[in-house]
Structure 1
């Protein structure tokens, strides 16, 4: 059995995918998985399900969702009632989010230890666990509460993987993907700094400088601020040629 929430929420068991039945049942299950063994009160679950406006039958509906999830999990994974809440006792059950965190931490440690091939492999394998946007087909309330943090963790892992790849000399292959990432996340300065680095190392110094200037204009127009230390130092390193040997984390 395996729990998956980094994409469509489902349980993988006996070689088959069980997507549960209905948005609210998936939401209940995903919320309990994300709780990591902590109990969630009826009130907390109700907020995820009905946005603070539960129906009169909320308690009965929660009981129904919990009962249906229990049937799918079987006796091996207890879902227990604790006072006015529920707790999923799933220690030892593989979960894509838990595994993502383990691989990502290992990759970041390898990056700090300058084992760049291993870092690239570990971080890449962590990113491969994502099957689209996390928490697909759950309520908007759970998405609003949990997806931003999950997405931030994914982006930080992606940035670290790209940095490892750049150190390994794969700058030309990374330019198209970094260009897309900067367009999708224009305020994220580390992606822009990584793109500047990749462009410069691909003998495209003018494009690297244009990337900085476009970011500076955007920050001024949208937020009324100047680029942060990382982007400013990367620009200076482009001008001096220092960016050929230094990486963004060394410039921050």
Structure 2
């Protein structure tokens, strides 16, 4: 595979460089074709798939010819730095993994996963920090079409998962006070993600803010009841019990389960659990009512 000095960025605006020279990638549709090739990581993409990537289910009659025009322009633009090859009924763009920020991101996340499996939380945090640092704004910015929209959502979710895993590692390493600002931001942006609130509670407790940590629990408990008709999950409830008991182990590096960042749990019948009185706190994420964002 050839990459030379070529570099591609997809975790933000779609961009490419040949050495120090940034390449003019053309129209949003042409950038979508390039992104589709890069995200396939050297595997073949059919012409029909490229057409669907740009126009969805209603392509114009000239779609196939237009896609081939985009491919021809990209080949000319990339020249010897990288080669779009014809394979059967489609095309591929093989480049080194280090040449594309998305594959580098995935490699860092895989390294973090392996480090955590081996019990090396500090190494996992370092790999996750390198992964998160690749974020340059809205993924696939400048590309257009249904494929770009779907992949943008997927990449945003992967980046969010890496951010939460990194914050979990920081809390586990005893650096909860440093993680509080970002955790508060994430709790406000994703109010139904219980893991974020759990980490925020632990971080606040590590910083000596027990009342604030308990107030976060009360807010998210009421939010889950209002929005989904469910009680907090096991992780949130366990953190709440330990904070109420002033568990001294919570202020030390402790083994936490790997962060999970899936969609909120499916609403289930209420269990009729008791609702302890709320605890006032001067600083905590804003209370969200009738909001269902993830």
Taking structure 2 as the reference length, the TM-score comes to 0.79
After TM superposition, give the deviation of residue 75 of structure 1 in Å: 3.5
Match of 1:187 in 2: 192
1:39–1:82 CA contact under 8 A, matched in 2: yes
The answer for unaligned runs of 5 or more in structure 1 is none
Looking at secondary structure, tell me which structure has more helix per residue: 1
Name 1:117's counterpart in structure 2.
122
**Are positions 1:172 and 2:182 aligned together?**
no
2:38 — aligned with what? 33
Deviation of 1:127 (Å): 0.8
Aligned to 2:26: 21
**Which among 231, 249, 252 is matched to residue 257 of structure 2?**
249
1:148 match: 153
Q: Deviations over 1:106-135 (max 9, x none)?
A: 123223333333222221111111111211
TM-score of the superposed pair, with normalisation by structure 1:
0.91
User: Any runs of at least 4 consecutive aligned residues in structure 1 with deviations exceeding 6 A, and if so which?
Assistant: none
Q: Which residue of 2 aligns with 1:127?
A: 132
1:167-206 Cα offsets, whole Å, 9 max, x none, are 3322222111110111011111111111000011111111
Is this contact kept in 2: 1:196–1:234, CA < 8 A?
Answer: yes
Aligned residues: 252
- What do residues 200-247 of structure 1 show as CA deviations (whole Å, max 9, x unaligned)? 111111111111121122222222222222222222222223433545
Q: C-alpha root-mean-square deviation of aligned residues, in Å?
A: 2.1
List aligned pairs for 1:11-160, cutoff 5 A: 11-91=16-96, 94-160=99-165
Greater displacement, 240-249 / 230-239: 240-249
Q: Given that residues 12 and 18 in structure 1 are in contact (C-alpha distance below 8 angstroms), is that contact kept between their aligned partners in structure 2?
A: yes
Classify the secondary structure of the residue corresponding to 1:249. coil
Residue segments in structure 2 that go unaligned for 5+ positions in a row: 1-5, 261-294
